[in-house]
Amino acid sequence: MRIHSKAPCRVDLAGGTLDIWPICLYHDGAVTVNFAVNRYASCLLQTRDDAKIVLRSRDMGGEEVFDSIDALATAAGRYKLPLPAWQLRYFRPKMGLALETDSEAPAGAGISGSSALIIAINAALNKLLDLRLSIERIREISQNIESQIIRVPTGAQDYYPAMYGGVSAVELSPGGIVRRALPIDFDELNRRAVLVYTGVPRNSGINNWEVMKAHIDGDRKVHRNFERIAAIAQGMRAALEKADWDEAGRLLRQEWTHRRKNAPGITTPLIDRLVKATGPAGVLGAKVCGAGGGGCVFFLVKPDAKSRVEAIVEKEGGQTLPIAVAPKGVAVKAERE
């Protein structure tokens, strides 16, 4: 049997880090706002006639072979390709498999390529093993396994664009997590969206963990900044629902300002240069994707400014990544050989 699965990456607009438990519990009305983009993480699962487990990564160029699922399980902590290996270690398929992965997100881009890939892999395994897990249950397992891999807490928001596509408000409360689809004109957002890769991978786990520790340790400054970030995220949701793009841009600028106060290392000289150089060309707001320190920068621009902004970005040393809103989430296709 062959199973192909793919899931979209995402751009986060506001409320990031609030989605890491238990930070969300300390801010009433905590919400994160993001949208899925048509850059995909994918996997191809193929059953084998023997017991071997073969892992390949097309984008990373790596390969690992294990004699059996038991051999893979006992090799924990020594994987060349830890992301697919840990998924198989959890699900323990009773047949030999070849699992090939690929990602259209640059390494360390901050657009949740790893979270999208985990959703794609686990959705494919769910189909192959006929587990009939709900998409929310797949999200819970995916989030827990990713935390095992990176060894620090992970947030929930990154999985929802991969699960559902579109534009999302991810509500976080003591009662749990609820994803709400926002009724946005995708074409209008596409005309205003510019995504730039800085060429420098970032480490979201470390950045988020430092901020999280400061918050839990009672740093009042960090707590106040997150109160403001929570309010900005609520405002961003309202602005998008009303298609008030000027307000969305203002809030994006505010979000970036407060996030820099929490973690000065979130920016780099290139990011600062790109934001400054593109401002006069029609940028409404800009911020790094994910935890920053490199990776991608998202620019919300006026509809007639997109080409100008992209030209400035390339001149200043950034790489524009063509994107559009991905309207649907993870897709799984099975074929019998």
pLDDT tens-digit series, residues 71-91: 999 987 689 999 999 999 999
Contact 193, 245 (CB under 8 A): no
Neighbours of 54 (CB within 10 A): 16
Stated pTM of the model = 0.92
User: In 3D, which of 88, 108, 99 has the Cα closest to residue 148?
Assistant: 88
Contact 96, 52 (CB under 8 A): yes
Domain 186-320 has CATH 3.40.50.11030: no
Tell how far CA 130 is from the center of its chain: 27
**Confidence check: pLDDT of 295 > 80:** yes
**Confidence check: pLDDT of 294 > 70:** no
Could you give the percent of the chain with pLDDT greater than 90? Answer: 70
Contact 162, 330 (CB under 8 A): yes
User: What are the two backbone dihedrals, phi and then psi, of residue 12, each rounded to the nearest 5 degrees?
Assistant: -95, 135
* Nearest-angstrom CA–CA distance, 200 and 163: 27
Q: Which helix (H) or strand (E) holds 1?
A: none
What's the topology of domain 2-181+327-335?
Ribosomal Protein S5; domain 2 (3.30.230)
Q: Which residue has the tokens 């600028």?
A: 253
* Nearest-angstrom CA–CA distance, 230 and 165: 23
User: Which of 13-27, 64-78, 215-229, 299-313 is the most confident on average?
Assistant: 299-313
Q: Per DSSP, what are the bridge partners of residue 198? A: none
Domain ranges of the chain: 2-181+327-335, 186-320
DSSP secondary-structure letter at 128?
Answer: H
Question: 2-181+327-335 and 186-320: same fold?
Answer: no
For residues 114-125, give the mean pLDDT. Answer: 96
User: In 3D, which of 248, 198, 287, 244 has the Cα closest to residue 17?
Assistant: 287
Q: Per DSSP, what are the bridge partners of residue 171? A: 31, 178
* Nearest-angstrom CA–CA distance, 38 and 36: 7
Q: Which two tokens stand for residue 266?
A: 């979130």
pLDDT of residue 204: 52
